[in-house]
Amino acid sequence: MARNIRVALKLASLSLLLVTSLEASKKEKPPPPLAPPGDLLLEGGRKLTYERSFSSEKEVRKKPGFFGKVLNVVIGEPDLHALVRPYSIAVDSRGRAIITDPGAGGVHIFDFADKKYKFIERQEKGRDPMVMPQCVALDAQDNIYVTDSMVGKIFVFGPDGKYRRVIGSLKGGEGYFKRPTGIAVDSAAQRIFVTDTLRNKIFLLDMQGSVLRTIGGTGQDAGQFNYPTELKLQGQELAVVDAMNFRVQLLRQDGSFEKSIGTIGDTSGTTFRPKGVALDSEHHYYIADALWGVVQVFDREGRLLYYFGKRGTALGDFQLPAGVFIDPEDRIFVVDSYNRRVQVFRYFGQKQMAGGGQ
């Protein structure tokens, strides 16, 4: 009986503490929410809308219940992961956002549909540790491929985030690549494309990691590179961010040159510091420019259609935008690196608007 009374008193005390804390928090007015940017109305009835931004594990987790709140008051809220220096992004078939974070030394998986979060890291010394995860790509089974620009290897994780294997690990622990950055996976052909930025080449690998051939070399001519970084594979076309040539090159999978988009300059339509590249359903190319803090949208002929964003911290602004990914619903995920967040937009093309898209 005495024990039951003591337990009841402790619960009553905790409840009082929680109520007091909640009352105190109500008195502190939260800052007003930031206003989202308005829709960008485009030619032909098209439009671009802002949907949301996210930056931490807290935004995806289920809100704690009563006893969860009591526990948080008593022992403090748990340490939750947040984006530190995010760089690249891919979205899998389940709608999960997978984001590399060199600043955190790992990969974030945000699952908003199931309200789950996972952080992937690999720090075992002497067993191929992942140090500087750079770019991410997925295969048809949602396996996750991550380049590590520091150790010169490619890490492969399952859809559940569990480590599967490493590609490019040599005897003694060294990595085969000098600085692997961009990566794309062709599941149908069982091929992996990866840029080696310091070698100015693209390596074509089989799924076991054996080198089949290389594409490119150092230079400014068509099909040559000067610090190639991100890749985007769409059908038979490979879009390559040729960073220090200030352009995006479009190649066939056999390495033959098709055309390039962008030139160096300080006006709209030029690309001074290109980062991520992606394609929407109308085959428009979205190129993030880290210097100007915008995403520029070009047609296949390289003509600028429009751009969105500006340098800043407000919703819709960017500071050092990096990775860009567009899902099948034309949702545009932009890694806003220096603002430590991902911003999500949605493009409504001509067919969608004609069909009554809102």
Q: Cα Rg for the chain, rounded, in angstroms? A: 23
**280-299 average pLDDT score:** 95
Provide the 10 A C-beta neighbour count for residue 285.
23
User: How large is the average pLDDT for residues 83-92?
Assistant: 98
Any idea which of 40-54, 59-73, 98-112 has the lowest mean pLDDT?
A: 59-73
CA 273, distance to chain mean position in Å, is: 18
Q: In this model, does residue 306 exceed pLDDT 80? A: yes
Instruction: Give the per-residue pLDDT at 76.
Output: 46
- Sheet containing 106-111: order of strands: 89-91, 97-101, 106-111, 116-120
**pTM score, two decimals?**
0.87
**Average pLDDT of every residue of the chain:** 88
6 — pLDDT class (breaks 50, 70, 90): low
pLDDT confidence bin for 164, thresholds 50/70/90: very high
Using pLDDT thresholds of 50, 70 and 90, give the confidence band for residue 228: very high
- The answer on pLDDT for 350 being more than 60 is yes
CA max distance for the chain:
87
Q: How many CB atoms lie within 10 A of CB 309?
A: 22
Q: Taking residues 39-58, report their average pLDDT.
A: 95
**How does DSSP assign 111-138, residue by residue?**
ETTTTEEEEE----TTS-----EEEEEE
Mark out the alpha helices in the chain (DSSP H runs).
Answer: 2-27, 66-75, 350-354
Higher-confidence residue of 14 and 180: namely 180
- pLDDT, one tens digit per residue, over 138-155 is 999 999 999 999 999 999
68-78: average pLDDT? 48
* Model confidence pLDDT, tens digit, residues 231-252: 999 999 999 999 999 999 999 9
Q: Are 179 and 196 in contact (CB under 8 A)?
A: yes
Q: For residues 97 and 81, what is the distance between their CA atoms, to the nearest angstrom?
A: 15
Fold of 38-71+79-354: Neuraminidase (2.120.10)
Average pLDDT value for residue range 273-286: 96
Nearest to 89 by CA among 53, 59, 123: 53
Amino acid at 121: E
Q: Which pLDDT belongs to residue 68?
A: 47
Q: Work out the angle at residue 208's Cα, subtended by the Cα atoms of residues 203 and 214, and round it to the nearest 5 degrees.
A: 15
